[in-house]
Amino acid sequence: AQSVTQLDSQVPVFEEAPVELRCNYSSSVSVYLFWYVQYPNQGLQLLLKYLSGSTLVKGINGFEAEFNKSQTSFHLRKPSVHISDTAEYFCAVSDQKNQGGKLIFGQGTELSVKP
């Protein structure tokens, strides 16, 4: 079974500052990793995903994440945030052998960007 831990429930940051949202996972098998974003009162949108290959993954809106197998982490970063990045961010994991569409989500991190 897999599990996902997002280490920060809330991250306040000033506009144009860098940000890192932390995600650790636990799994006994190989996994795919995802970050989703949820803007207020909306559904979830895929930001980026790691399937294989390069451990640095680039997503939409200037976000990127780095897969670290030894530390079982998949932290999300952005060098300079905007007010519009205010949202909740979810890290998720899927077993590579599981084709049933089962995603395991972390608890979420609320990113609040202040002017």
Partner 1 sequence: NAGVTQTPKFQVLKTGQSMTLQCAQDMNHEYMSWYRQDPGMGLRLIHYSVGAGITDQGEVPNGYNVSRSTTEDFPLRLLSAAPSQTSVYFCASRKRGTYNEQFFGPGTRLTVL
Part in contact with partner 1 (CB under 8 A); list of ranges 21-29, 40-48, 69-77, 78-86: 40-48
CB atoms within 10 A of CB 53: 8
**Would you say how long the chain is, in residues?**
115
CB 32, CB 48: distance < 8 Å: no
Part in contact with partner 1 (CB under 8 A); list of ranges 38-46, 53-61, 63-71, 74-82: 38-46
Among 63, 94, 111, 113, binds partner 1 (CB under 8 A): 94
Distance CA 85, CA 115 (A): 12
Tell me which residues touch partner 1 (CB under 8 A): 4, 6, 9, 32, 34, 36, 42-46, 49, 51, 90, 94, 98-108
